[in-house]
Amino acid sequence: MKYKLIMCITFIMFTLSSCMFPDTSVDNLIEPQKLEKEQQEIYDAFINDVGENSKIDLLYPNNGKYLSSFVVENIDDTKGNEAIVFYKNNNAINGKDTISVNILDKNENDEWHSVWITHETEVVDIDKFFILDTNNEKLIVVGYDTFDNNKERKLKRISVMKYKDNTLQKIYSLEGNEFEVFDINNNGLDDLIIISDNETREINVYEYNNNSLEKILNKKENYDEYKKMNIKTGLISEETPAIYIDETMSNGDIFTDILYYENGNIQTLNNISPQLKESTKKSDSLYTYDIDKDNIYEIPLELDLMGGNYNENRRFIKWINYDYISREMTEKSISYIDMKLGYRFDIPDEWIGDITYKKDDLNNEVTFYIYNYSDKNDDSQKLLKIKTFVPDINNTDVGTENYTIIDTDGHLKYGYILYNTNTKYDLKKKDIDNLFNKL
Ligand SMILES: [Ca+2]
Ligand SMILES: [Ca+2]
Ligand SMILES: [Ca+2]
């Protein structure tokens, strides 16, 4: 009877999958349910342990790879995953809030249960979580935001822990303004990199060897007082890992520095020449971004349209890369970019200096046209319109008739209209294919 029931369910699922979800395999249909079921089991085991009536709030790391309050990964030398849950425990110790990390594991009956909880006091939030992978061991690294409300450059507490034999042991507690777990020297072992800004900037790189965290690299240099630091990890060439640091100054200017391994120590743009770092200056919330998804990050610079005599807050973005061999910045592209709608349009060389655009936010449309130097309101010489179609519930194709659809991300549709001006600025369909890219 049971067998028949399973057959029946399987049959229904096949039928459903073939008629209702033409592009979805049965596996895909089952997989998310399995995951949800596991998450529910972890959550139930977690609540069972902390107590249903306790005052807890789940926490999400604010930055980094793991942005969920539940992480399911293998963090020890036993087969199978452990679950890590982050939460705030209100009034937990002497009436004070604590931030807690709960480790859950599966018992011999394959049921999730709580194994260990660690509390951290006098911290306010979780910044980042990492699994540091060394030769034969894994460490977990949790970065906490601390109470330093007066300071602009916040100090983080970095807790390095080892989970082994059902025990979570805190092995190091360190401090710094920013940190990352990343193989900076490209030797196959994760490094813990901590940037501390006090009188000078100190960059320390640690490797975990023989049960201890060894400082393998150290660099001291000057730095300018900044307000906020955003960091990203990637590459500067196919083989060279790098950390990109966007520093926002008090006046809003942003400078980008790059930190990488060279000749046995850490190298930075600032160290090579302050002018190199200075050349990355921009005055808006423009951050380093990998526009073409090759893991080599591009640094944005603002490019005033029409030589700067155009003060209507329109601009193109010039994206540059750092060439570590020539120690110079190289131009990647000049683009119109719409982060919200998720695309960039690279500006052809011929257009630069002569073409401007206007944006219609209500209709998610941008029009590029030849700038008329004698009448800045004249937009009659149109070259190209790009429109993003945001679907409504009833019809996703309303208004698309006049547009050529260039791309879709399954939700949004991107369409364009090309115009003919009989000038050197006119584009063809194949140009659009090359110049338009989703982010
Ligand atoms: Ca395990
Ligand atoms: Ca390394
Ligand atoms: Ca790139």
| Domain layout of the chain by residue ranges | 355-438
Contact at 8 Å (CB) between 334 and 246? Answer: no
What's residue 151's pLDDT? 65
Using 50, 70 and 90 to split pLDDT, how confident is the model at 27? very low
Model confidence pLDDT, tens digit, residues 359-385: 898 999 999 999 888 887 889 999 999
184 CA distance to ligand 2 centroid (A)? Answer: 5
What's residue 296's pLDDT? 98
73 CA distance to ligand 1 centroid (A)? Answer: 8
Provide the b/e sequence for 125-154 (b: ≥16 CB within 10 Å).
bbbbbbbbbeeeebbbbbbbbbeeeeeebb
Contact at 8 Å (CB) between 91 and 55? Answer: yes
Q: Among 297, 151, 160, which Cα is nearest to 228's?
A: 151
230 CA distance to ligand 2 centroid (A)? Answer: 22
331 CA distance to ligand 2 centroid (A)? Answer: 30
Least confident of 20-24, 91-95, 283-287: 20-24
166 CA distance to ligand 1 centroid (A)? Answer: 10
**Cα torsion through 291, 292, 295, 300, rounded to 10:** -30
Mean pLDDT of 430-439: 94
> For residues 433 and 345, what is the distance between their CA atoms, to the nearest angstrom?
10
Q: Among 376, 320, 380, 316, which Cα is nearest to 351's?
A: 316
Residues, beta carbon < 5 Å, ion ligand 1: 74, 76, 78, 80
> For residues 336 and 413, what is the distance between their CA atoms, to the nearest angstrom?
18
User: Given a cut of 70, is residue 144 above it in pLDDT?
Assistant: yes
Q: Of the ligands numbered here, which is closest to the C-alpha atom of 207?
A: 2
User: Given a cut of 90, is residue 52 above it in pLDDT?
Assistant: no
Model confidence pLDDT, tens digit, residues 275-287: 999 999 998 778 9
